[in-house]
Structure 1
Amino acid sequence: MIVGVGIDVVDVARFVATLDRVPALRERLFTPAERGLPAASLAARFAAKEAIAKSLGAPAGMSWQDATVRRTAGAQPEVEVIGTVAAAAALLGVARFHLSISHDAGIASAVVVAERDPA
């Protein structure tokens, strides 16, 4: 059963300019494993984190670092949640997230479907 759907789109150049202007933002938004990724990948992960929040109804108090997007070559991206994001998901009964991310032509995008197990 679908609990929620989230989508987000990020202008990569604008996002990179913001990261350059506010260097501490990189540490606030991304886990240590994510921080070294190329700019377009960071923008796509930011879009994914926004989409995750939207799929949960955008509850207040969630930490950006409590959601990580993992990519394995040849496999779908995976969402790992801990802490505040895991708690928000648990309140809604979310058992898994389905994620699609992309970046092309200066735009990064993500779509997330939050799903619970059938009762």
Structure 2
Amino acid sequence: MSLFSTLLAISTAVMMIAWCFFVLFGQVTVKKLRKNIETKDELGVEFMSGLDILNAAGALSTPKALNKKLESSQLSFLHANSELLYKHTTRLDRILARILFMLFYGSATAMIGLVIAESLGLFSQ
């Protein structure tokens, strides 16, 4: 098995774990936030099913300075309200959000980087 195949298999396995955390975070945290009247409409725009789960995880995982910048931009309706989410989530919810965010976006970035590197011939022998 080549180095490219091995690295792609590892990032795919990490992505599968990320999808498990996606379901867990959606059932534990976002379901609770959707039922709350204050946070129901503050989860960002949902273009496709489940995007509000990633919006909530991103709002709970990114630094506060970046959240402020995103929430004050013209496209703020796409981003979840981080202050309100912090107010209505527990420490466990935030830990799940950070794990989901890091695994999901880390493995997606690794897969994209691997495909680009392969197309540029960096894995050719």
TM-score by length of 1: 0.30
Structure with the larger helix share: 2
Structure with the larger strand share: 1
Instruction: Please say which structure displays the higher CA radius of gyration.
Output: 2
